[in-house]
Structure formats: C-alpha cells, structure tokens
Amino acid sequence: MNRLDELFQRKKSGILNVYCTAGFPEADSTGEVMIALQESGVDIVELGMPYSDPLADGPVIQASSTRALANGMTMTKLFGTLKDFRKRITMPVLLMGYMNPVLQYGFEKFCAAAEACGIDGLILPDLPLYEFEHEYGEVIKKHGLKCIFLVTPETSDERIKKIDALSTGFLYAVSSSSTTGKEKNIGAQVDYFKRLQALNLSNPVLVGFGIRDKETFHAATRLSAGGIIGTAYIRAIEQSANISETTKEFINGIIG
C-alpha cells in the first residue's frame, strides 16, 4: 500500500504536511531536515525541487530555491541524496516542483528515479490536466506514484470534481489565489472549505498557503483533513545552527 493511502486510512484529521526545499539551507541539509521533521511528528514531507522561476512561490521559498541552486542542487544530485533515505524515513515523501526541470531531466526517467528512491507522489502545479490525461498520467501511474493537484477558491465545482477524479493521494486546496507566504485570514475562507466538503470529494483535502502557526493550522483542520506549511518553516531553519532543535521547537508550536 502506498504510504499516503496508509496514512489517510489511519489518520482522518489533523494531518501536518511540511514543505522544505531540497539542498536548503546547506547542500547536505536535506536528509537532516527530513529526519528532524519525522522525529518532530510531521505526517508528510513535501520536498521542493529548486527551480529558478517557481510560479506559485512567494519570495521566501523563491529565495530558498535560489540558495539551494547556489549550493549546487540539481535533479541528479537530488536523486543521489535520496538514494538511501528510506533506511531512516518511514513517512510519505512527495516531490513538489515545476515541469520545466522535470522535462529537461526526462519525464519517464524522473518518475523511474522517484520510484526507485521510494518517493510516494508528485505535486507539479503547472502540469495541465489535459497533458496529464493524455500523456503523463499513465507514466506516473506506471511508476506507482500519486499525483496531487491544486484547487483554489475560484475553481468551479465542475472543475473541482474533475480534478478530484484525476488526483490520487489528496487534493491540495490553496487557501487563496496568490503566492505562498502571504499573510491570509484562513478563517475568512470558511465558505470555500464548506463548499469543498459539500462536494463529497473522493480525496482527502489538505489546505495550503497561509498556514504558519497553531492558530492557522487548526483553522484549516477544522474543515479539512489537515494543513500544509512551507514559508514559515523555511524562515525557521534558514539561519538555524541546529536544525533538529529548531524543527522540534517549530513543530511543537504547531501541534504541541
């Protein structure tokens, strides 16, 4: 069973997914960060593949990508870093990034490498549904990977239902139509979350963009299966002298 399926069968609410950029804050930080997140009680790690033009990311995550690229992180180095990570990491791990570097690497080669490492799924925000249906979806499925799509408050019910039918793992509900890291009032989006609930979707829903502390995490989890934190965690570790301790303190502040 895919680790995401097992997680959502075992845990129906309060799921915490944390984003971190591969190769940040230092070139060799990726394994240390994932271990620290697992030991702190995180349910899912969303590992960002650094890219020079990340469309949906705000300045903090953009800066983390720039730093990771400056640290020498490439797709080849990423898979080298992940080669043996399953010896210590048991939680679901997703790769999040954009199509350009994936296509440059080779789409099937990328999926095969992700499968070989033990990656559970992909979040590719700029993968169009049409191309997924007619070209890439079967490749992703062939390699045992889940594919998670995003919806926003402006997405129509009809399109949400189609995205839900194509998604596997969970549905990524963007809390508002903006980039990551913006200060948002999650509570003001209650109608949006209730609309998602009323659609009786097949996939669990996790809320992202604007989740940064205990208050916003619990606001998101009241009407969804959980929340996704990225910018706030990147900020926490960017100057950290002890990633393990910083991570423990940060996550305890969310779920402790």
**Residues with catalytic roles:** 46, 57
Rounded CA-CA distance 87/20 in Å is 20
The one-letter code for the residue type at 109 is K
Residue 210 — φ and ψ, nearest 5°?
95, 0
Decide if 67 contacts 235 (C-beta within 8 A). Answer: no
Vertex 18: Cα angle to 118 and 248 (nearest 5): 105
Rounded CA-CA distance 204/9 in Å is 10
Rounded CA-CA distance 167/152 in Å is 15
* Exposure class string for 36-54: b at 16+ Cβ within 10 A, else e: bbbebebbbbbbbbbbeeb
The secondary element (H helix, E strand) that includes residue 44 is strand 44-48
What's the first-to-final CA gap in the chain, in angstroms? 29
